[in-house]
Structure 1
Amino acid sequence: MEQEISINLPIESHEVPKLRELVGWDGRHADYPMLFERCNYWAGLRETQGELIAFGYVAGMGLQHGYMEDIMVHPQFQKQGIGQALVKKLLQEAERISLEIVTLTFDSKHTSFYTESGFTLCSGGLWRRQD
């Protein structure tokens, strides 16, 4: 991939929901562009024709701790190292802005991806609103 992953890459409101749907997630159209205003920073990558093919972000108070979320790579570009490069870029930015801790949750099938990307496994919990 010739292009480089960029921090706070300019992204149109419809692009991330489209990518979310391509990877099999709910588009969450209502989250954009508000997410860009509320997260600490994001990273993205476009393919040579300009389509957004990778995205992820870190949210939090921006003091000591951040939470990494929505790490996604377009299905046609998976298994090429883009995901790990995306996580690495997000963690480099965390270091640059002096975050000391970055956490995330992930499906257990992605354990090796995140441990190879520098994360240590730990226990945690999850709360979901009951509809």
Structure 2
Amino acid sequence: MSVEFVVRFPVDDQVLSALHAAAFDGPPEVTPWAERLERRALSWIGAFSNDVLVGFVQLCWDGGAHAFVLDTAVHPEFGRQGIGQRLVAAAAEEARKAGCEWLHVDFEPHLTAFYLEACGFRPTDAGLLKLR
């Protein structure tokens, strides 16, 4: 299977929302991804198999030294093939090109092996405050 990784691809809100819902086992709500990414993201990368979006990652930043990986998603039918790892690596490269020094990611405990072992992040202490 051939997968192509495309930086800042033209986003279709329905297609990306469907991928996100499948990857996170959530409701198929349409999110205004295109507008949000254009206004707030440093970059984003899509993984495409035969022109079908099968993976996605968003890269945000503080405008300086810190970038943040968000919304890493791979369709379950394409899981465990290295697509997520390659998406995160592509995001890291985009952050490097932008002059960032650090790449941050928050994740749930079941993703520890993916982010720490497969993607090379190191554990740090962090805090989280729920606002709503």
Q: TM-score scaled by structure 2?
A: 0.89
Judge conservation of contact 1:20–1:26 (CA < 8 Å) in 2: no
Q: In 2 relative to 1, CA 62–15 (structure 1 residues): closer, same or farther, beyond 3 Å?
A: farther
Alignment gaps of 5+ in structure 2: none
2:44 pairs with 1:42: yes
User: How many residue pairs align between the two structures?
Assistant: 129
Distance, in Å, in 1 between the alignment partners of 2:59 and 2:130 is: 20
Superposed structure 1 runs of 4+ greater than 6 Å apart: none
> Shift of residue 27 of structure 1?
5.0
Question: What is the DSSP-based 3-state SS (H/G/I as helix, E as strand, rest coil) of the residue aligned with 1:29?
Answer: coil
RMSD, matched Cα: 1.5
Cα displacement (A) at 1:127 = 1.3
Structure 1 residue runs without a partner (length 5+): none
Which structure has the highest strand share of the two? 2
> 1:59 corresponds to which letter in structure 2?
C
Query: How much has 1:57 moved relative to structure 2?
Result: 0.8
* 1:12 and 2:18 matched: no
Partner of 2:109: 108
Identity, % of aligned positions: 28
- TM-score (norm: length of structure 1): 0.89
Distance, in Å, in 2 between the alignment partners of 1:5 and 1:102 is 20
After TM superposition, the structure 1 stretch with the greater mean CA deviation from structure 2, 74-83 or 19-28, is 19-28
